[in-house]
A and B are shown apart, each in its own frame.
Chain A
């Protein structure tokens, strides 16, 4: 069977690519080994965030695309524009946030700096000894399983097709083979998250495990997603464990709490020690939450590349094979811009973003 494009993996990235491709007139078929949105996507926080750093351009463009999609029907993905409040523990961190504000401004992303008193006005529940913060009012949150389904439904409505419960076992040179020896031919995009190396062993990818906690509903939840400025330190620490306070108010009044990063672990066990370290960090910033009860905890695996940037583009040395992998912890945010870049690449169109930083060739020997 022949289609213009076969997208392997229907998480947030695969679904977004199918939608962008179908919009561009490519007849698309999604192949999902399990069920849509139940892998890495489901485990994530669903924080739509412009992140200062190497992925600034990608995340800023993504937020534009997300708002375009979500603000028409915000209910479907439980979208809310909460903004992100980055919180500085001391003067050094606040100075770093100020420099971050300059780079955001240059990228056209508005943000507002807050001193200690301003921070307390934004979120009175924060500890009183903090230095200040940076507010990105354009950021938001979604419920990832529903976001995947909203995007998938849009793609299916435009004529995309999906096969669920079918694993792609091999690349053939002009398509893929599925379990049961069914062959599909066409250009192929691999968007299988941490399982990427099963089909593309040449692209280095390591899982970085993370823990999350959801609490019971609280009468006075914070208004913003609150993240400590030190969070980005963990992004750049490739080994060992790092934890940071990251608290998201859900529309139900519950709090979704992260975050932890552990490289090289691929199990799904919840570690009490990691939970303790992570929650200790949360109580340092939000000391009033101690008596609030946690309902559930879980873990997820972020697929990480050696340089922290995703692979978006043609896979060198293979005919008609494209990669959309390695989005680490930012896949929900960066899925729409990833899809745009990739489909532009397939069609040979010039893209709004420069594709060079994401070219998979950079990590091949």
Chain B
């Protein structure tokens, strides 16, 4: 057991690291845990071909100057014990850690909408493909298409381009009118505007099809071509890799397990007050876990919540105004990249919805009623290693009526697959 921290932060992305800096500056003892081998989260994921992002370098050097701050990279939070004590797992063993306050900055994951052929080798999440390229997976010279919705498609395309991929095109399901509406008000957020301009400059040669999406992927052993449409005409586009993602959904599992209040809907976020406080005392949340709004918003929220969590009211109050403004950007994003109806209903009866348990849509349609528990019990959807993180969100999108999944109402440990010896605890002595 590692004990005696004033604040334990889960997640070393923009929100988590800013929170750590705020709390460290206030002179507190802080721990930051993250399951990736290096800090930075998804947006600042380490890329050996380039220098680390400037804000990340600044944050890490600031944190290094505080001796009381400890980073635990390569440690995944798998469960809580009373206290709450955090049960962490690394490649080699388990660790237990406890602090006065807890701040969750667990980020977001991609939303996938199944379409025929989406399980073919060669198809990845848009962000997943970006992460693979940064990790050194070879993409040079390969023909890549990015399809789905949201700014992540552009960020992923820019990374892939830098690693030598041939980007055949980017398909954005949102129609041109929505995108123009997004751009028209974007200058209200100068940082986000600069980031968008930088991306567009790097991608100016890449075709960007608005109001378009992939209806089918084909190939023998791996992806060979995709069928694309603008809702009127279909055409075929050969490619080797497809990165797809229809926006992001907050990683609320840890917060949910601790009983934090969530927002309504199939992709809930953690409900927080203006200083990042959740409905549970001593428990804070910041960044994409509280709603999708990008790195700028996440950094501000993290800095604010980190200060609030260690009782630095002055610093927290100073950041309040800017944080509210960044909050509005999240709403702006959601309004203009909302998902159209056609992309929700691309799956055919034989299309696999749950990859872990290989459950096709037809099997789900057989189950009468809309009780998510019997659906799960009888089809086994969501019961595999990903624990429904992908399929249950996809399923919710395909349903016309509001669908309250039982995995939200009855969260249980472990948060990720965890070794039996981890859950058996440290008290058990060495075995004979």
Contact = CB atoms under 8 A, between A and B. Distances in A.
A293 B419 contact: yes
B341 interface: no
A283 B420 contact: yes
Contacts of B412: 270, 296-298
A38 B91 CA distance: 37
Contacts of A34: 371
Contacts of B81: 272-273
Interface stretch (B243-251, B267-275, B324-332, B383-391): B383-391
B170 to A, nearest CB: 36
B427 A35 contact: no
A295 B377 contact: no
Given A38-B374, A272-B80, A282 B420 contact: yes
B421 A295 contact: no
Given A37-B374, A283-B431, A296-B383, A270 B413 contact: yes
Interface residues of A, number: 40
Interface string A157-187: 0000000110000000000000000000000
Nearest to B388: A296
Determine which residue in A146, A257, A294 has the highest number of CB atoms from chain B within 10 A of its CB, and name it.
Answer: A294
B207 to A, nearest CB: 42
A200 interface: no
A35 B432 contact: no
Contact of A279 (B371, B374, B424, B432): B424
B283 to A, nearest CB: 17
A149 B413 contact: no
Contacts, number: 103
A149 B414 CA distance: 29
A215 B378 CA distance: 19
Contacts of B385: 216, 295
B432 to A, nearest CB: 6
B258 to A, nearest CB: 12
A295 B374 contact: no
B423 interface: yes
Interface in B339-389: 369, 371, 373-374, 377-378, 383-385, 387
A172 B425 CA distance: 53
Contacts of A213: 420, 423
B417 A35 contact: no
Interface string A224-260: 0000000000000000000000000000000001000
Determine which residue in A165, A290, A292 has the highest number of CB atoms from chain B within 10 A of its CB, and name it.
Answer: A290
B235 interface: no
A276 B423 contact: yes
A31 to B, nearest CB: 16
A357 B414 CA distance: 42
B418 interface: yes
Interface in A272-323: 272-273, 275-276, 279-280, 282-284, 287, 289-298
A284 B377 contact: no
B65 interface: no
A280 B431 CA distance: 10
Interface of A: 34-38, 42, 127, 129, 145-146, 149, 164-165, 213-216, 257, 268, 270, 272-273, 275-276, 279-280, 282-284, 287, 289-298
